[in-house]
Structures are given as C-alpha cells and as structure tokens.
C-alpha cells in the first residue's frame, strides 16, 4: 500500500479520531471524578500538588501567599515549601513552586469561589476536581483536536494517522498526569500550540497578527512553565523574525514579554525578589533550611531524593533504565527513527525535526549534565521522567516518517503496535496516582537490584 494514498474518507478518519478522543476524555474525566489521596482524606496526590493548591487557596481564600495556616489543616502539609521573612518582617512559609502557575490556576478558582461559593478549604474534593477539568482535561482535549488536524494535513496513510492519534490519547504520560495539578501537562499543550501557529505562518509566508500573538503567548507560557522550553521561545522567534521581522516584534514579541514580565512579577510579589525559590535550594541558611526541613536533613532523604552521583548512570536510567524515556514509552523509538528520516521531508518539516532534536538534546543536557547531584533525582517520586513531558507533542509528530515506512509491511505494523502497547501499559499502571515510581523501578526494587 502506498502510504500517501488514503483508503477511507477524511470524514471517516475524523470519526475515528473523535471516537479515540471521546473515549480518552471520558476515561480521564472519570479518573478526575474519583481523585483522592491514599487515605481518602484529601484530593491531593503528592507534596508537589499540595504545595501548588495551598498557594491557590491562600491567595483566593485568605488574600495572602503565605501558607502557614493552610498547611496546618489536615491533609494540606507539604515538604515542597520554603521559609523566609514576609513583608511584615516575620518568617512565613510559602510554596517552593514558582507562583506564576498557581496565580493562573487561581483565576478560574476565583470565579468558582465568587460565583458558586465553592471553597478549596471547605469543599476540597469538589473544587479540585472541577479545576482539574478546566486546567488539565480541557487543554489536553484541545491539543488532541489540534493533533487530528495536523494529521489530516500530513501526507500519510490511514493506518499511520490513526496510530498517532491512539498514541496521543492513550500512550503518553500526559494522560497519566491529568488527575494532578502540575506544570508539565500545560507546558506540553503550549509547546504544541506554539509550534503549530509558527508552522502555519512559515508555510503560508506570513499570517494575521493574531497568529503571531498565539505563537508568542504560547511559546512564552511553555518557557514560564518549563525552563528548558526557553529554547522553544528562542527558536520560534528566530524562525518568524527571518520571515516577518516587524510582525514578529509586535505580534510575537509583545505577548511573550507580557508573559515573561508576569512570571518575574509574580515571583517578586510573593517572595520580594526576582529570583525563584529554587535558587535558594542548596544554600545553607537559605529558604529551604528551616527547622524540620526535609531537604536539609540527610536522614530524611530517601530513594531517588538522595540524588544520583554518577552522571553516566543517571543518563542511562533517564533514557533506557528504570525511569527511561525509551524503556517506559518505547513508541518514542519511532520518533527517533522518524527524526533520522527527516532528510526526506520538505524544508519546513526538516526545520521542525531539527528544532525538536535540538530542544530534546538541550533538555536532556540541562537535567543530566548541568544539574548538581541533589537535583539528579528523576523528578522525585514520579511515574516517568516528567521534565521531558513538554516535548511529547513534537515527539508524536516526529514519528510520522518512520510510520510511513512501517505501515507498508505487516511486520512493521506489528512492531509499531507492540511499541504502542508497551507505552499504553506504562502510562496506565500509575493512573490512580502518577506520583509513584515507574513500574520498572518498582520491579527492580522488589528484586533487590537497586536501593
């Protein structure tokens, strides 16, 4: 079969996409409706999301970013916090997470709180579940629709198109993380939106100013949510400036500057400094060094939180080991193969394959080679290497050239399906709580291979 020749109509393909998207949406909506901690006392699944929710609740319900009183409530305490003097000169606890995202989440919560009278402090299950739908599930579903549109614009056979949509809706850790407040899922959504908007401008030799605005806004949001995505912001700006410099300055640049200003402004409002809380993490006597701090008591640090001394071992496990990008979700091997085949694509496709490759290498270099031992912890207790999740969108599209080759052979389709099945398995194992170790890590631990 010639993969460039479709055998079913676009209408039928869209129907298949819709079935996959609706099935995925409904499944994850059900997971959100059932989200609960292990003890059933709160809707929070880890110290990570408790830290973010505490900031949201503190700002809207109490009018401050201090979480001292919030963390005294049952089920609200978190190790992801810092302590420093507030504007009143008295030391207070604050979330260690950058406040920018919490302020964004606080906006729909403010509406929910003021219009419906629902409070995170008194009705946490209802409030959290409703906000997870708005902040996680809706953006992810929009991205699914965007991927469907991208697939219809590509020169592919029916089988490859449906395979990619199945992988997007069931085979990545984005769906796993839809039940918890996190920065990785929205960063992935913003990344794909930014690349799509930029791609449309480049293919058409220009575009309306609003499309430049979408590209700039979403690329800057991705960078604000994931630091390595700063490379995406730079690359998209360079691509557009080379074609439409004036529109890039005003259409792309101004929204991007607005987001950057809001990011640092939020940090200044909360912490009275432009520096994020993370800059204090390894400073003795700094914000993380407070009585009972988990991070400054070696006797409390356990497992991956101790950090991996060997960069080589860390790199191996990030790629192929117990937290491996390729070992947990082996369908990304198709993305790697597709990148190798990029030479056969048109100029715009080559540009994006190279961009994806550079962004992936930059992200891995940053987290594997440039971080100190304490930060080489695989993202803590987590079901995957979460710091690379923001690249899932471009990785999905990168597998297209490889699928074009494989779909022409029975063995090729079987191989792709095996890789997809393994990826869906890994994404499904931690569906009740993504803040758990990957299944490979747990098997290795139970066998005594790691400690």
The strand ranges marked E within 109-259 are none
Residue 449 Cα to chain centre, angstroms: 30
Residue carrying structure tokens 């006597």: 285
Which phi-psi region, left, alpha or beta, contains residue 63 (left: φ > 0; alpha: ψ -120 to 50)? Answer: left
pLDDT of 296 reads 81
pLDDT surpassing 60 at residue 354: yes
Phi (first) and psi of residue 3, to 5 degrees: -65, -20
Strand 81-85 relative to strand 91-95, pairing: antiparallel
pLDDT of 362 reads 95
- For 184-199, the pLDDT digits (tens) are 999 999 999 999 999 9
Please answer whether residues 239 and 199 qualify as being in contact, where contact means their C-beta atoms are separated by less than 8 angstroms. no
> Which DSSP category does 152 fall into?
H
Q: Residues 33-47: what's their mean pLDDT?
A: 95
pLDDT of 280 reads 86
Angle between helices 347-364 and 311-319 (to 10 degrees): 130
**262 is written with which tokens?**
């809001």
Residue carrying structure tokens 């000169």: 89
Please answer whether residues 105 and 181 qualify as being in contact, where contact means their C-beta atoms are separated by less than 8 angstroms. yes
Beta bridge partners of 92: 84
- For 234-258, the pLDDT digits (tens) are 999 999 999 999 999 999 999 999 9
Share of the chain above pLDDT 70, in %: 96
Share of the chain above pLDDT 90, in %: 83
pLDDT surpassing 80 at residue 1: no
Q: Report the C-alpha gap between 306 and 381 in whole angstroms.
A: 11
pLDDT surpassing 80 at residue 363: yes
SS (H, E, C) 207-267: CCHHHHHHHHHHHHHHHHHCHHHHHHHHHHHHHHHCCCHHHHHHHHHHHHHHHHHHHHHHH
As a whole number of Å, the CA-based R_g of the chain is 22
- For 376-429, the pLDDT digits (tens) are 999 999 999 999 999 999 999 999 999 999 999 999 999 999 999 999 999 999
Average pLDDT over the chain, rounded to an integer: 93
């Amino acid at each position: 079969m010639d993969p460039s020749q479709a055998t079913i109509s676009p209408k039928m393909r869209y129907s298949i996409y819709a079935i996959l998207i609706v099935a995925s949406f409904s499944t994850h909506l059900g997971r959100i409706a059932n989200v609960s901690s292990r003890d059933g006392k709160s809707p929070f699944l880890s110290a990570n999301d408790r830290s973010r929710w505490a900031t949201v609740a503190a700002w809207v319900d109490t009018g401050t970013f201090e979480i001292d009183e919030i963390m005294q409530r049952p089920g609200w305490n978190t190790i992801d916090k810092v302590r420093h003097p507030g504007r009143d000169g008295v030391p207070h606890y604050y979330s260690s997470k950058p406040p920018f995202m919490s302020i964004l989440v606080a906006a729909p919560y403010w509406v929910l709180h003021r219009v419906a009278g629902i409070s995170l402090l008194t009705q946490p299950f209802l409030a959290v579940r409703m906000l997870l739908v708005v902040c996680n599930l809706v953006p992810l579903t929009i991205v699914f629709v965007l991927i469907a549109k991208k697939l219809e614009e590509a020169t592919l056979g029916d089988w490859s198109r449906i395979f990619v949509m199945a992988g997007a809706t069931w085979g990545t850790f984005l769906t796993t993380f839809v039940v918890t407040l996190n920065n990785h899922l929205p960063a992935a959504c913003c990344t794909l939106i930014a690349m799509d908007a930029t791609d449309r401008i480049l293919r058409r030799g220009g575009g309306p100013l609003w499309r430049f605005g979408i590209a700039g806004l979403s690329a800057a949001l991705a960078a604000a949510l994931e630091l390595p995505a700063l490379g995406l912001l730079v690359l998209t700006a360079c691509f557009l400036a080379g074609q439409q410099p004036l529109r890039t300055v005003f259409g792309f640049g101004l929204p991007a500057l607005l987001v950057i200003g809001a990011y640092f402004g939020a940090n200044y409002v909360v912490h009275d400094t432009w520096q994020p809380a993370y800059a204090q993490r390894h400073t003795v006597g700094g914000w993380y060094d407070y009585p009972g701090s988990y991070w400054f008591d070696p006797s409390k640090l356990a497992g991956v939180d101790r950090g991996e001394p060997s960069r080589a071992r860390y790199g191996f496990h990030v790629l192929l080991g117990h937290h491996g990008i390729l070992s947990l979700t082996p369908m990304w091997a198709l993305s790697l193969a597709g990148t190798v085949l990029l030479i056969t694509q048109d100029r715009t496709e080559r540009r994006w394959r190279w961009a994806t490759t550079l962004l992936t290498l930059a992200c891995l270099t940053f987290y594997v080679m440039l971080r100190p031992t304490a930060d080489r912890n695989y993202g803590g207790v987590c079901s995957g290497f979460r710091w690379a999740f923001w690249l899932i969108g471009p990785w999905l599209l990168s597998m297209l050239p490889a699928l074009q080759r494989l779909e022409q052979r029975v063995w090729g389709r079987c191989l792709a399906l095996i890789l997809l099945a393994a990826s869906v398995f890994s994404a499904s194992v931690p569906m009740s709580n993504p803040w758990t170790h990957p299944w490979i890590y747990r098997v290795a631990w139970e066998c005594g291979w790691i400690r």
